[in-house]
Amino acid sequence: MLILMEANATPDQIQEVLALLEAAGLRCQVNPGPEALSIVAPNASRALKPDRIEPMAGVRRVVPITSPYKLASADALAGRTVVDVRGVRIGGDDLALVGGPCGVESREQLFTVARYVAEAGVKLLRAGAFKPRTSPYAFQGLGLEGLRLLEEVRAEFDLGIVTEATEVETFDAVEATADMVQIGARNMQNFALLRRAGRCRKPVLLKRGPSATLEEWLFAAEYVLGEGNRDVVLCERGIRTWADHARNTLDVSVVPAAKALTHLPVMVDPSHATGRRDLVLPCALAGVAAGADGLLVETHCHPEKALSDGPQALLPSDFLRLVAQARAIHEVLRAPSALGRWL
């Protein structure tokens, strides 16, 4: 249930409501809100009747949250969540761009890519130190050495670092290095990992599983939110269909569909969605046009030598083109007057 407090509710009154919820064994989330504070208590109506809470001092109204995911639901929050990753706001008015190679391969590779990513004005660098690979024989990432290189590259280029946590055992090390922790598509329903991400003090980028429905994806987010981490960003990265012209199928329509159901930001990863360099730019632009809050794009200085995902990695010049065009599309949507008489 959603408990809306009066704008002038006192701290004591708020505390009394929280104490009642706690005594009933309920976990809740307190949202300051622009006008008044609200409290989301998932599944509270099982333990407490709304008419027990509604007459309490300082309470304006109690509203049931009808969707099955409570904390991720658009009903749970007035407005939208904006996630701040080292000064980059994801979910606000700006288009958040994240770029980088699939994996950290060497100091030289990482620094070369980071240099042109930073020169493009992109402030978040994504590269995996721990890689979730389908084949156990494929490059698994440099592990702790990769994290050390990511720390070096952040210091050198003043970039925020997005990197993946693949298992609970190495989560602490990833959390210590990352400015944002990615949970990969294959781990979208790894519930132990999701709970650990929920206890993490860094924002979480939650990829959609290759065969997950929107509801399953939102339940995965709910696992993270339920442990107290509110900084969750969803990322559509293509789903498995019968189409065989591309690695996956970019589900463009899930972007507005997700944004209608949740207050969480939604990004698009056109690289894993297509697996083909020539399809990345048009699909990135489609994602922005569909309302994505940001893009996650793979790029490599020498894609032909990449240890993972080379065929989908953009060359530096294509990466720069994508950044410019994605920003132009976003600008048109943000300020439609840019289209003049056509709108």
Residues that bind ligand PEP (CB under 6 A): 102, 128, 132, 184-186, 207, 237, 272
Does the protein bind Mn ion through residue 102 (CB under 5 A)?
A: yes
User: What letter does residue 99 receive in the DSSP assignment?
Assistant: E
Identify the sign of the CA torsion 125, 131, 132, 135: positive
Phi, psi at 88, each rounded to 5°: -90, 125
User: What letter does residue 340 receive in the DSSP assignment?
Assistant: G
Site string for Mn ion, 115-154 (x = CB under 5 A): ----------------------------------------
For residue 201, what are its two tokens?
């003090």
Residue 132 binding: pick among ligand PEP, Mn ion, none (C-beta 5-8 Å cut-off by kind): ligand PEP
Does the protein bind Mn ion through residue 205 (CB under 5 A)?
A: no
Nearer to ligand PEP among residue 44 and residue 306 (C-beta): 306
Size of the site for Mn ion (CB under 5 A): 2
Nearer to ligand PEP among residue 263 and residue 272 (C-beta): 272
How many helices and strands in the chain, by DSSP H and E?
11, 14
Nearer to ligand PEP among residue 58 and residue 103 (C-beta): 103
DSSP per-residue codes, 74-96: GGGSSS---EEETTEEESSSSPE
Does the protein bind Mn ion through residue 309 (CB under 5 A)?
A: yes
Nearer to Mn ion among residue 300 and residue 330 (C-beta): 300
- Least separation, in Å, of the C-beta of 150 and ligand PEP? 14
- Least separation, in Å, of the C-beta of 258 and Mn ion? 22
Strand ranges, E, within 152-202: 160-164, 180-183
Nearer to ligand PEP among residue 164 and residue 293 (C-beta): 164
Strand ranges, E, within the chain: 2-5, 29-31, 38-40, 59-63, 83-85, 88-90, 96-100, 124-126, 160-164, 180-183, 204-207, 232-236, 266-268, 294-298
- Least separation, in Å, of the C-beta of 274 and ligand PEP? 12
Does the protein bind Mn ion through residue 164 (CB under 5 A)?
A: no
- 15: CB partners within 8 A, 6+ apart: none
Minimal CB distance residue for Mn ion: 102
For residue 101, what are its two tokens?
């190679």
At position 57, the amino acid (one-letter code) is: A
Nearer to ligand PEP among residue 293 and residue 298 (C-beta): 298
Residue 184 binding: pick among Mn ion, ligand PEP, none (C-beta 5-8 Å cut-off by kind): ligand PEP
- Least separation, in Å, of the C-beta of 105 and ligand PEP? 13
Q: Can you state the angle between helices 191-198 and 214-226, rounded to 10 degrees? A: 50
Specify whether the CB–CB gap between 263 and 74 falls below 8 A. yes
Interface contacts to Mn ion, rule CB under 5 A: 102, 309
